[in-house]
Structure 1
Amino acid sequence: MSATDPFAGLSSFLAVAREGSFSAAAIRLGVSPAAVSQAVKVLEARLGTPLFLRTTRHVGLSEAGAALLARVGPAATEIAAAISDTVDMAGEPAGLLRITVPRIAVPLVVEPVVPALRRSHPRVAIEVSVDDAAVDLPARGFDAGIRIGELVDEDMIAVRLSRDIAWSVVASPDYLATHGHPHVPEDLVRHEAIRYRFPTSGTVYRWEFERDGRAQSFDPPGGIIVNDGALLASFARAGLGLAYAADITVEAELRDGRLVRVLERFSPTSPGLFLYFPSRAQTQPKLRAFIDVALEVLRRTGVRR
């Protein structure tokens, strides 16, 4: 290889690899798609191998591209963090904070915290990616993520954002007056369930229960399937069936009686929502600012007790 700048084209390569699209990468980098395409072509020519497998509808990594991303991605994230930290040391927290969150965290954490963060730290920009799937933070260029505690890798630093979650079967009083109350999980076969399909995997969630210390799961019948928790709760309030939900997401409805819990003695609990990040990221002032604001806001809203 010649004395060419070894970093030439890498920012374009990383953006395309992470976004899965040349046009999306161009938007992220603030350049034209043609410029991104040309930079990648030059890099591929310099390396002597294609880095992407392109079709009219899809851009995927080649074997060589995947290998390059596995090694360069974490290093690039570290370099970006180092530059951001250096900038932050000059004054108040600043820079782009990229976080990945599941849908359940959007109304509970993201919606109340982000406005407060922007008001108190206007130099901190934030990018929120909503994704229920597990995410490799360094490989995807995220500073931090939010997930239910049991899904956080042990090598990550985790900060509790919410109390533990009780998973409950809920329904409207009208539905229960018409169809009766289920008393054991097996009664679900005689009821109408509003079911949830995971957006990423496409699988339909099996309702989980605990009985005599043993875990059980059921796939109840139902004519409605959604992939959004807010819509799930809305249909339950409308009396269209039973729904399986985290108590923390339907707390207001349970409090004012629009929804009622059933099968409570079989309801399992799981650790609440946690912010997690690699140990090396904890020194970033922008991340520290997010944590401080989040803990204060979530105490006020009652999500964290």
Structure 2
Amino acid sequence: MRSLDPALAEVASGLAALADWRGTPSGAVRLTTLHYGARTVLASRLPAFLLKHPDVSVEVIADDRPVDIVAEGFDAGIRLGEAIDSDMVAVRLEPDVRAVIVGTPDYFDRHGKPGTPRDLEAHLCINYRLVGGGGLRPWTFLRNGREITVRAKGQLIVNDGLLAAAAVRAGAGLGGLMEHEVAEEVAQGRLVKVLDDWCPSFPGCHLYYPNRQITPALKALIETLRWKPE
């Protein structure tokens, strides 16, 4: 039966091309994405795509580890811009973002505030395990061209951003959270930023895929997800 696979794939490709010619993309799209990308970019834009294109099915696998999209059978991936290989075609999905170090007022009442990145070594920090890489994500800071990397310690190590954020919001430690996701809590005083001058911005989520012809379904999805500055 394997000998039929190339022929079946060619038929499927031809049907998809015909659908595109008719203005109705169809078929399946398989995506790998960061959990962050799933809850921000996809959660807000993917439902509208599905309603507009009923003949397209989408499979989304959220996984923060590095993924070889070709070897693992994905049509495209979503990662932060700095993590995408240069030989991939990349489409920006959001503007530059920034991770900020935050804690609750109660936490700082008990432990004080760090004045420099090195001070984090004396604090309870929520660490993130790099699944696939094996180690903990380093706490990296940059100011006036000077970079500092800190190996912070704490009670909790996670590989899930929502769990890390929950621990920070409960006052169990300090964490690096996306600035736009905590902006309201900071404005209301429920969370407090520290080391703000040491937290630079970096490229936000991009969709990426191999430099080859893409299906009409993926093309339509890209146009829906693409960041359109106002």
Decide: shared fold, TM above 0.5: yes
Match of 1:163 in 2: 95
Match of 2:222 in 1: 291
For 1:214 and 1:115, locate their aligned partners in 2 and report how far apart those are by CA, in whole Å: 43
Q: Which amino acid aligns with 2:219?
A: R
- The structure whose Rg is larger is 1
Gaps of 5+ in 2: none
Listed one character per residue, the Cα deviations across residues 203-242 of structure 1 (whole Å, up to 9, x for unaligned) are 2111110143132211112111111101111111111111
For 2:15 and 2:83, locate their aligned partners in 1 and report how far apart those are by CA, in whole Å: 30
Q: Does 1:198 align with 2:140?
A: no
For 2:148 and 2:91, locate their aligned partners in 1 and report how far apart those are by CA, in whole Å: 30
Over the matched positions of the two proteins, sequence identity in percent amounts to 39
Match of 1:280 in 2: 212
Give the C-alpha shift of residue 79 in structure 1: 8.0
Q: Which amino acid aligns with 2:199?
A: S
The match for 1:250 among 151, 164, 182 is 182
Q: Does 1:183 align with 2:106?
A: no
For 1:238 and 1:144, locate their aligned partners in 2 and report how far apart those are by CA, in whole Å: 36
Moved beyond 4 Å, runs of 4+: 76-83
Give the C-alpha shift of residue 148 in structure 1: 0.7
Q: Indicate if the aligned counterparts of 1:104 and 1:249 stay in contact, CA closer than 8 A.
A: no
The correspondence of residues 109-120 of structure 1 with structure 2, limited to 5 A, is: 109-120=41-52
For 2:131 and 2:46, locate their aligned partners in 1 and report how far apart those are by CA, in whole Å: 24
For 1:95 and 1:125, locate their aligned partners in 2 and report how far apart those are by CA, in whole Å: 6
Give the C-alpha shift of residue 86 in structure 1: 4.0
Give the total of aligned pairs.
Answer: 230
Q: Secondary structure at the match of 2:70?
A: helix
Q: Which amino acid aligns with 1:290?
A: L
CA change 1:156–1:80 in 2 (3 A) is farther
Compute the RMSD of aligned alpha carbons.
Answer: 2.6
Match of 1:7 in 2: 3
Q: Does 1:145 align with 2:84?
A: no
With normalisation by structure 1, the TM-score equals 0.67
Give 1 or 2: higher helix fraction.
1
Q: Indicate if the aligned counterparts of 2:66 and 2:132 stay in contact, CA closer than 8 A.
A: no
With normalisation by structure 2, the TM-score equals 0.87
